[in-house]
Amino acid sequence: MDTVRRTSRFRRLPALLLGAWILTAAACGGDDPAGPAGPSDPPDSVPNAELTFLRQAAAAPQLVTYDTTVVAIAGEQLDLEIRYLPLPGQDSGEKFLEFKLDDESLASYPPSHPTRPGQPFAAGDTVWIRVVVDPQLLIATMEPSGLTFDPLRPAELEIRYSNADDDYDNDGVSDPELEVEIDLWRQESPGDDWERSGDVKDLETDRIRAFLRGFSRYGLGI
């Protein structure tokens, strides 16, 4: 089943880690604080037709759930996991998706909220959070749209591709060399371009993490 853990104890700020990474990258860029750039740099925004999204491998187990809803409480941490069904001999299946909120991550309600439109969260306030996973593609939709998070205490989303089909570009041939091109992308609304959003990528453990300031549709693709 999907797993939810809550606690009111602080954990380390991911925003500080991200800030340190940004400063390091800028320092390595020479006189140009943005670093070297050129025509070979990958685009940060592309139309839907130009992205190929990773697919679950034919032999991959099913997920425990493809549609789950939990209550987030302002002032408490939230750790939601969606896993694959366990294989014989396993107590629990491999992790596919993890979503985390810090104690102060919740910033404001969506503008469309029926009773608190756009209002900031106070300790103890609650909001329903829904995660819908595509049954074939490595794409997850996060709701409610318009919910915002504190930029200094962003939400964290991690998606793993260890059970993805290794024909990453869907050309009928295994493409291990293309793994370095996999990234996490977000689409604000249906029909919009996809924006590159991965902040931390670990090729050893086949996972990509993003720090979120709001909800959207997220997918792993090249």
9 band by pLDDT with thresholds 50, 70 and 90: very low
Which whole number is the average pLDDT over 197-220? Answer: 96
Domain membership of residue 149 as a residue range? 3-221
pLDDT in tens, 54-107: 999 999 999 999 999 999 999 999 999 999 999 999 999 999 999 999 999 999
Q: What's the predicted TM-score (pTM) here?
A: 0.81
pLDDT at 42: 77
Domain count, the chain: 1
109 band by pLDDT with thresholds 50, 70 and 90: very high
| Stretch among 36-40, 121-125, 184-188, 189-193 having the lowest mean pLDDT | 36-40
6 band by pLDDT with thresholds 50, 70 and 90: low
Q: Could you please report the per-residue DSSP string of the chain?
A: --EEEEE-S----HHHHHHHHHHHHHHTTTTSTT----TTSPPSEE-GGG--B-BB-TTSPPBS-SEEEEEEETTSEEEEEEEBPPPTT-SSPPEEEEEEE-TT-EEE--TT-SSSTTPBP-TT-EEEEEEEE-SSBSEEEEESTT-EE-TTS-EEEEEE-TTB-S-TTSSSS--GGGGGG-EEEEESSTTSPEEE---EEETTTTEEEEEESB--EEEEE-
Which whole number is the average pLDDT over 158-174? Answer: 96
Nearest of 143, 156, 158, 134 to residue 54 by alpha carbon? 134
Which whole number is the average pLDDT over 110-122? Answer: 97
pLDDT in tens, 123-137: 999 999 999 999 999
Maximum mean pLDDT: which of 2-11, 24-33, 87-96, 154-163:
154-163
